[in-house]
Amino acid sequence: MTRSCHGAARLAAPVRDLLNACRATFAPVVCEVRQPDQAVRAVARGCPAVSVVTGKRWQTGGREEFTAVRASVEVPVLLREPVFREDQLWEARACGADAISLVQPALTPERLAELYGRTLRLNMTPLVEVRDVPGAQLAAELGAEAVCLDFADPAAQARAAALLPPTTVTLAEAGAEVILLGGSLIGDFVRSAS
């Protein structure tokens, strides 16, 4: 982790609150976008936030694309790139991320808790992505305020959601408080790791 990254993170634009943006909107939808014009259209259609998937593993945009999307809209922008290390959090904040993804199946419970706490200290929203009921239980124990439910089985998703406190904002492709339109990052990650 370089000092320049820490400095850039401290000078980054103020964080936009993903949780409040989603709670303040009736039937919120967070759209995955790849370019600024897509983000502008999504926001014009009522999206309270947008999501940008980055990373070489998924052959998607990089930090430059993320930064361009962030500059094009006034809503919170979720950086959906699996975070494994603290330096990734500093990099995310330096490029203006308002929220980041913590993919629970890819992290030990201890590492998840450590990165969750560090994300909060950087004033970003940690979105804990889970794909099974034990993962949702872990997110509940962690006190996660934003949880992405990535389930193929709607009944299992409902059981997982029932474990979360009522104040938790849930995101999913269907059957959640916030609809997340776009590719499934957690599923892609778990399938690629197999």
User: Looking at the domain assignment, is residue 96 inside a domain?
Assistant: yes
CA distance 30 to 49: 5
Distance in angstroms (rounded) separating the CA atoms of residues 69 and 27: 23
Q: Is residue 4 part of a domain?
A: no
Q: Classify residue 10: in a domain, yes or no.
A: no
* DSSP bridge pairs for 125: 99
Q: Could you give the count of Cα atoms lying within 13 Å of 113 in the half-sphere of its Cβ?
A: 8
Give a yes or no: residue 37 inside a domain. yes
Asked if the structure places residue 35 within a domain, the reply is yes
Domain carrying residue 45: 15-193
- Structural domain includes residue 186: yes
CA 65 – CA 140 distance, rounded (Å): 33
Counted domains in the chain? 1
CATH number of the domain bearing residue 186: 3.20.20.70
Measured at the alpha carbon of residue 107, what is the angle toward residues 181 and 14, in degrees to the nearest 5?
A: 55
pLDDT digits (tens, 9 = 90+) for 162-194: 999 999 999 998 889 999 887 544 344 333 443
User: Is 2 a domain residue?
Assistant: no
Tens of pLDDT, residue by residue over 8-62, are 788 788 899 999 999 998 889 999 998 999 999 999 999 999 999 886 544 456 7
